[in-house]
Structure 1
Amino acid sequence: MKILMLTCQYMPDVFGGAEKQCGRISKGLRNKGLEIQILTSRQQHKGKAKEVLNGVPVRRLYSPIAPDLLGRWLPFSAYWLLRVLVWGVFNHKQFDVIHCHQGKFGAFVGCCFARLFKKKISIKVGNSNQFMDFNALKAKKFVGPIMADFVLKTNPTVVAITDVIAQNCKDFGFNNIINIPNSIDTNLIDMQQYTEQPIQKANDVINLFYHGRLENIKKVDVLMESFALLVAEHTNIHFHLIGSGSVLASAKDYIKQQGLGSKVTFHGEVNDPVVFIQQFDVFVNASEAEGFSNSLLEALLAGKVLVSTPVSGASDAIYPGKNGYISDSFKAEDIKNSTIKGIQLHKQNTESVKHFSAQLIADNFTVEVIAEQYLALYKKLTGTNK
């Protein structure tokens, strides 16, 4: 069976959750004997048009601006759409199924491809509620509603990574919805080694951390506020913020204003983040919206106590009292209270937390488990047992 993975951008240009998942599932399906190719864009005219990453061929079609931005960059989106369809004229017979990563502009492109060349299509949805992919697409002025309606009428199979997203897609009007969660590559722990200097830590200090994109949707400001509240009650804690993004500067300013510079370390981006976070104790996420957080899955793999706001995917990875806690709301006070319980759980039995989370991953989230579910989906779409 031959699968075309379609994503508007891909690594190393972008290291977002959708791109990580595209890479993981492509590698997993390749290991099961499927022929996989990733079709994406490149913004550098002299960049690599063809390469192989993790054993998977990647074809990049040039677009001066990232094709999924739309808005005033709509001409570049149209240009990339045209390039994809022209590429499809010469290559469509090589594929049985188109798998779109995210239900935004890329889904519209995929549906154009599927209709023109009569291909089966699945679309994986990466976010929830008001930020759900199709809601985000429909919200684009002028062309957004037209594109969203076109996708809906194409009647694709929609892959929802959580129950919340499945309900969002049903409410939007989709009929063919299947639940397949995000995956995590256990080799991220087993095979990689430290490439960063270990952090010097005091033995009696609890090290809290968050790693990931530092953007508005992640509510880093609320995360820092909850930490400030926590420090007022517990002095033997330290927070590690790992990653970069548009809100990093404001987070640093807030910590300086609060006089907490000695209590927070900003690490920026690090190599091998899953290995890096093994040094710390409790993962804390204040995000206001997620699909199924890759950062949460990575902290789960590292065996850390997990604390999160009640976003989509949290209840799939966090079992209160077993490996973490979910806050009652998105407010700093409630995040602080859940973090206190998380610290207590860490102090009680970290080995029990690690064992529980390892079994949860083995049963539900490994690349191998998720690849089997996608393989079953593709067989159903194509009506084949091969």
Structure 2
Amino acid sequence: MSGATSPGEDPVMTSPARPLSILHVVRQFLPNRGGLEDVVANLAREQARLGHRVRVVTLDRLFSKPEVRLPARERLEGIDIERIPFSGSHRYPLAPSVFRHLGDADLVHVHAVDFFFDALAWARPFHRRPMVATTHGGFFHTNAHSRLKALWFSGPTRVSVRAYEGIVACSESDARMFAPITPAGVTVIPNGVDLDKFAGAASAAPRRALLTIGRFSHNKRLDRLLSAMRALGPGWRLRIVGVPSDVTVAALTAEIDRLGLTDAVTLHVGLDVPAVRELIGQSSLFVSASEYEGFGLALIEALSAGLVPVAHPNDAFAWLKERHPLISLCDFADPASAAGAIRDAYARLAEGRLDPGAASLPGAEDLSEYRWPRVAARYVALYEAALAGTGVGTGLRPSTSR
């Protein structure tokens, strides 16, 4: 990317040449809570702090509460939100009125690969707005309809990416997926994380207490997490924190009851930050059986809290493991193996057998690259390059764009 920073200059120290009018487009947003929503909210807040005018356009109903229509305009947590109606499935919600909300945007930032991604791309000759997109894992979070997804990815998605000045991936595993259909290259910008939110919150004394945080969805494989809990046996506790998605609270509760885990596993739905922090304070390990992640935000939050992570080796978690040695990876498809990995991680913590190197002690990982000022500045530099007409289509490849 050229024009935004000098070689070797940290973009976080660079003021923008001029304030921008930035429009973020995302299918779900506040008051809903989840990884995607948190990323967009934090990015918008940080960009506003830098002096830019920021708006978010999103759908007017939450997928978890489709019967409730939210206000068309609202300001939440300092962010101006415009909501629009939609029809069709939540997997590909149709919302053509998005074009009426482009307003005076200098640049449109589309989050995730869905109707908004395609529609704004195909209409580019008419609205003529510079655009960048963050893939957030695309639409491969589960294996459902995998053949149809592959056909769509190699067809319409391949065409859509050409309308964007920049395609951003949150991890190199995500970049590898999109690189074959993005001739100009993919830029890797790891998601920002609020590292102060849960900083140092983990229990000071080792506990046989596990915590997982995330949307209740099929790709998170909470069923495998429950099977691992059953294999662990008595004396262990698991707290599942999140919001319903394509897995309901009723379904999770039924599975917990079926496995005889009602005394060991508790569900915590829609908690605010102080309540989650309190639960972290009662825990020592973070666990995730997720088969697919675009980035792994909750795992970074866990590291900032001082929890010891044990996770399934999906591409995103494997990528993070290369950078953060405290993470343990194991196959949650095998409950006995997962239970063994959890026991071993706890034993290393309780017996002081963790590597004494500063980078692998709980709470001591270097997470500075995920701080929001740094991440937001990288995005603004990318915007400035796009607006200058150079875009990021300059052959940047994943290996050179960290």
Separation in structure 2 between the aligned mates of residue 321 and residue 183 of structure 1, nearest angstrom = 16
Equivalent residue for 1:40, pick from 20, 34, 58: 58
Moved more, 274-283 or 329-338: 329-338
SS in 2 for 1:291: coil
Matched, 1:8 2:13: no
Equivalent residue for 1:160, pick from 166, 169, 180: 169
Matched, 1:333 2:340: no
| Unaligned ranges ≥5, structure 2 | 1-19, 62-66, 391-402
SS in 1 for 2:116: helix
Separation in structure 2 between the aligned mates of residue 155 and residue 323 of structure 1, nearest angstrom = 37
SS in 2 for 1:33: coil
Matched, 1:361 2:372: no
Separation in structure 2 between the aligned mates of residue 331 and residue 171 of structure 1, nearest angstrom = 33
SS in 1 for 2:366: helix
Q: Any residues of structure 2 matched to 1:57-136 within 5 Å, and which?
A: 57-63=80-86, 65=87, 69-70=91-92, 77=94, 80-81=95-96, 83-88=97-102, 91=103, 94-112=104-122, 114-127=124-137, 130-131=140-141
Separation in structure 1 between the aligned mates of residue 101 and residue 255 of structure 2, nearest angstrom = 49
CA contact (8 A) 1:183 1:367 kept: yes
What is the deviation of 1:129?
8.6
Separation in structure 2 between the aligned mates of residue 248 and residue 116 of structure 1, nearest angstrom = 44
SS in 2 for 1:108: helix
CA pair 17-114 structure 1, distance change in 2 beyond 3 A: farther
Matched, 1:172 2:173: no
Q: Which is bigger in relative contact order (C-alpha 8 A, separation at least 6)?
A: 2
What is the deviation of 1:316?
4.4
CA pair 369-87 structure 1, distance change in 2 beyond 3 A: closer
CA contact (8 A) 1:125 1:132 kept: no
What is the deviation of 1:323?
2.2
TM-score, length basis structure 2: 0.77
SS in 1 for 2:23: strand
What is the deviation of 1:128?
6.2
CA pair 204-175 structure 1, distance change in 2 beyond 3 A: closer
CA contact (8 A) 2:142 2:292 kept: no
CA contact (8 A) 1:68 1:104 kept: no
Cross-structure match for 2:393? none
Provide the identity percentage. 19
What is the deviation of 1:306?
0.6
CA contact (8 A) 2:121 2:161 kept: no
Deviations 1:181-233 (A, max 9, x none): 1111134237xxx9xxxxxx9x88511121222221111111111111122xx
Separation in structure 1 between the aligned mates of residue 179 and residue 195 of structure 2, nearest angstrom = 32
Matched, 1:30 2:48: yes
Cα root mean square deviation, aligned: 3.6
CA contact (8 A) 1:308 1:326 kept: yes
What is the deviation of 1:240?
1.6
Deviations 1:249-281 (A, max 9, x none): 444334434433322223333222541323211
Equivalent residue for 1:230, pick from 229, 232, 241: 232
What is the deviation of 1:296?
1.6
Separation in structure 2 between the aligned mates of residue 341 and residue 121 of structure 1, nearest angstrom = 47
Cross-structure match for 1:197? none
SS in 2 for 1:279: coil
SS in 1 for 2:302: helix
Amino acid at match of 1:210: T
What is the deviation of 1:132?
8.8
Aligned residues: 357
Cross-structure match for 1:300? 303
Equivalent residue for 1:186, pick from 177, 189, 195: 195
SS in 1 for 2:303: helix
Separation in structure 1 between the aligned mates of residue 142 and residue 229 of structure 2, nearest angstrom = 29
CA pair 256-67 structure 1, distance change in 2 beyond 3 A: closer
| Unaligned ranges ≥5, structure 1 | 195-200
